[in-house]
Structures are given as C-alpha cells and as structure tokens.
Amino acid sequence: EHFLQRIQTLDPQLNSFVSITAEQALAQADAADAARARGEAGLLNGLPIAHKDIFCTRGVRTSCGSKMLDNFIAPYDANIVERMRAAGAVMLGKTNMDEFAMGSSNETSYYGPVKNPWDTSRVPGGSSGGSAAAVAARLIPAATASDTGGSIRQPAALTGVTGLKPTYGRVSRWGMIAFASSLDQAGAMANSAADCALLLQAMAGHDSRDSTCVARPVDNYLGELEKPLAGLRIGVPAEFFPADLDSRIADQAHAALAELERQGATLVPVALPSVHLSVPAYYVIAPAEASSNLARFDGVRYGYRCDNPADLEDMFKRSRSEGFGAEVKRRILVGTYALSHGYYDAYYLKAQKVRRLISNEFARAFEQVDVLMGPTTPEIAFGIGAKNDDPVTMYMADAFTIGANLAGLPALSMPAGLVDGLPVGVQVIGNYFREAQILNVAHRFQ
C-alpha cells in the first residue's frame, strides 16, 4: 500500500509506469502473508516489484511500449514473471520502456517519455527507463528489465541505481518479447548489488522453453557478497577511457577503482582494441534480428490492425505503418537491407566477424584478470529531446555497454558519485556465469 500510494502520487510527474495492477497486487500480498503464516515464505515473499512491459504477464496488458501491442493482453506469464511470483514477489505494475526496447532515452515509447527523477527535464536512459526511474524515485524497491545493448546498465547509470545483466543464457527469455534474440537478456534493477543478487537468485535457472537458456546449476549469489577483495585482479581497458571522455566521469570511475584497490584489488591495464566497433557491429546485427522478429506483427493474429483494409496486402502494410513508431521502422529497414541478397556478406556477415573478434578480445582479457571495469556511459543524463535529430549520437550512449552483449558476458552498473548533481555509473563486466563475482565487487564497493 505504501508503494502503491507513492506510485499514485509521484508517477504523474515521471511516467515510469504504463499499467498499475493495484487490485492483483493486494491479493498477491495477502497470499504472501498467508504463505508466511504457513511457514512457506519464498525468497521474495511479499516483495513489491514491477515488471518491464516487455515481459508477458497473464491477464495484464503487455504493450512493449508500442501502439502495436497497446491492446495486447498476454495469455501467459514470462518465465521470470512465473519464477518471481513463485518466490512470493508481488507485482504492482508494468514499467514504461522504449518501443520494442529500441532506444537509449525512453523517448520512443508510445506512452510518452519517462522523466529522470533527479531532474525531470532530462531522460532516465533507455530502454528500461521506466524500471530505472521507478526504482530511483523509490516508487518500487526493485524491478525487472532487459538488456540487448545496454538497456539495463545505461538507465541504471543515469538514474543512480544498480542494474545487472546476467550472462546470455542464464535467465530464460521465454515470454520476453523478442528484439534481437542472440543478444536479449533479462535482468534486475534495484538499489543495491545485494538486492540484485536476491532478484537474480529467483530469476535464474534452466527453462526448456528457451533453447538458449543454459542447464547449469544456479550459483549462490548472496553467499559471495561479503567476500574480501584481496587478490582480485581488475582489468582496466584503455578503450573505456577515450581521450574525449568527460574528465569528470573518468575521475569518478578512477575514484571507484582506487577504493577497490584500497580493499586489496590489483589494477591491470588491458586492451580491447576492437571494442570501438561494438556500436557499428551491433547496429547491423540487432536490426537484422529485429527485422525478422518483428515480422510477426502483421495485424492478423494479435496486436494492432488498421481500420477497413482493402485487401490482405493493404492490411499488412497499414497495420505495420500505423502500429510501429519511427525508430522501430528505421531498425526494420536497416535490418532488412543488411540481410538482403547482395548486401548480406558486406554487412551482416562482416558484423558477425567483428562480433567474434570482440568476444575473443574479452576472452583474452579474462585470461589475465577477474573482472573488467570502466565508466558505464560516456555522458551523464541528457536533456529530453537533445538527441532526437541524430540517431547515431543516441546510439553512442551505449558505446561502453554493447561489448558485453556481443560477447554474452555478465555485467552490471553501480552508482559511483555525481557530476553536476547527476548520477554517474561504473560498469563491472565479469567472465561467463561469474555473476556472483561482479555482485561481490559491487557489494564491497557499496
């Protein structure tokens, strides 16, 4: 009731929720109370949470931030929704997001932009900007989010919360609306690494309905949180501190590294010479996969359908042109082009080779170090509308985060001070399935 009250009073200024499920929430809270009374309290028993609107929630609108799915009531729950409910979590609503998770500012949502609670004239980052703003404003203690190319870590950094993208395959994608299937990964946002550890504990695990979800025992993420950092080797890639980086952001990252060094960690310079190609490679691969994944929205089976179509082709065309926003259309066009005969080798295949190169460089770095660190984003939160005229400038907001998606590595962003009164995030990237280790580093820092 406390959090529902905060959402009612404060969210009109932030627009971080697209649906509020108060009635179901109170019923779920009663069920959690009853479970506790029976001695059957789950790991998240009674914990109020919100789900990013990319996750299907049975009986509740699941819009993915799009007019295309504005009328879509999901007939089933996403795997992580199921798991978190089984652990006793109470869903208070669904959070706003960039349309189909395409964006870095939450301005592409059909439901309007989300405002950054630190300064409502600025963006909260994206695409999980609703989850980030809601957690930062304490409208909810924790939320789910998804990260295809930085969408958990970048908004976490810009709003001063902790956001965790697990290893690709650690958490099931079942019921998470697909954007770029080889990159999409569900994860958590909360006010601390310890809270993210708790959420991951409930989310992670094998699911036979997602063929890329790995059948590997789930670690004890809470168990390693307090481990001392003595002996930890932290790789510091020079590429995460380019010459044109805002020196105030670099200073905050260096201060975080110094604190970890003080706790016994060793800093090791490492090289990721191809990581500057992450953004260009991503913006071929992700749109290519999106153009295929979004072919299902055709006005036939579910979602938006245009009025009075003249024939089948007219229905496909108008349903899609009226149902999708500008950024989604841009991605579909770019992706279709990159995959078309005659261009496939030059763009898609080339991008896949660059992706492999980047993964190999990460693998080499992890032969020398335990984790990699640097700033999460090159900039602090920018003004609403500031980057709308130039999509490429917007794409650069994820220059430091996209590498981990291309390689499938786990990564988190944690708050590390302020610049101009706005939060700065530091990123910790781990080796495959070493979520426990990056959570440990973040917890010791916090």
Q: Which of 109, 151, 278, 319 is labelled catalytic? A: 151
- With CB under 6 A as the contact rule, the residue among 102, 123, 186, 365 that binds ligand GLN is 102
Q: How far is the CB of 326 from ligand GLN (least distance, A)?
A: 13
Buried b (16+ CB within 10 A) or exposed e, 300-320: eebbbbbeeeeeeeebbebbb
Are residues 118 and 423 in contact, defined by beta-carbon separation less than 8 angstroms? yes
Does 101 engage in binding with ligand GLN (CB under 6 A)?
Answer: yes
- Name the residue number minimizing CB distance to ligand GLN: 151
Q: Which stretch binds ligand GLN (CB under 6 A): 102-110, 156-164, 206-214, 292-300?
A: 102-110
Q: Which of 19, 63, 109, 127 is labelled catalytic? A: 127
Nearest Cα to Cα of residue 439 among 121, 188, 269, 118: 188
One character per residue 361-400, x = contact with ligand GLN (rule: CB under 6 A): -------------------------------------x--
- Using the minimum distance from each CB to ligand GLN, give the nearer residue, 10 or 396: 396
Active site annotation includes 278: no
One character per residue 137-156, x = contact with ligand GLN (rule: CB under 6 A): ---------xxxxxx-----
Handedness of CA 43, 45, 50, 54 (dihedral sign): positive
Tell me whether residue 121 is exposed, middle or buried, using C-beta atoms within 10 angstroms of its C-beta: 0 to 12, 13 to 18, 19 or more: exposed
Active site annotation includes 274: no
* Rounded Cα distance, 385 and 407, in Å: 31
Return the H-helix or E-strand segment holding 429.
Answer: strand 422-430
Q: How far is the CB of 174 from ligand GLN (least distance, A)?
A: 17
- With CB under 6 A as the contact rule, the residue among 104, 192, 319, 431 that binds ligand GLN is 104
Helices 435-445 and 193-203, axial angle in degrees (round to 10): 160
- Using the minimum distance from each CB to ligand GLN, give the nearer residue, 180 or 197: 180
**Is the bond leading into 127 cis (omega within 30 degrees of zero)?**
yes
Q: Which of 52, 94, 115, 165 is labelled catalytic? A: 52
Q: How far is the CB of 435 from ligand GLN (least distance, A)?
A: 18
Strand order in the sheet with 162-165: 17-20, 90-95, 48-52, 142-146, 186-190, 162-165, 411-419, 422-430, 371-375, 233-237, 266-270
For the CA atoms of the chain, what is the radius of gyration?
21
Does 291 engage in binding with ligand GLN (CB under 6 A)?
Answer: no
Q: Which stretch binds ligand GLN (CB under 6 A): 100-108, 225-233, 296-304, 420-428?
A: 100-108
Nearest Cα to Cα of residue 150 among 397, 401, 435, 371: 401
Active site annotation includes 127: yes
Tell me whether residue 381 is exposed, middle or buried, using C-beta atoms within 10 angstroms of its C-beta: 0 to 12, 13 to 18, 19 or more: buried
Question: Looking at the chain, how many residues does it have?
Answer: 446
Task: Output the CA–CA distances (angstroms, integers) from residue 106 to 89, 113, 209, in the order listed.
Answer: 26, 5, 30
Q: Count of residues binding ligand GLN (CB under 6 A)?
A: 14
Does 107 engage in binding with ligand GLN (CB under 6 A)?
Answer: no
Q: Which stretch binds ligand GLN (CB under 6 A): 65-73, 98-106, 253-261, 263-271?
A: 98-106
Q: How far is the CB of 365 from ligand GLN (least distance, A)?
A: 22
- Using the minimum distance from each CB to ligand GLN, give the nearer residue, 362 or 445: 362
Catalytic residues: 52, 127, 151
Residues at the contact surface with ligand GLN, assessed by CB under 6 A: 101-104, 127, 146-151, 179, 286, 398
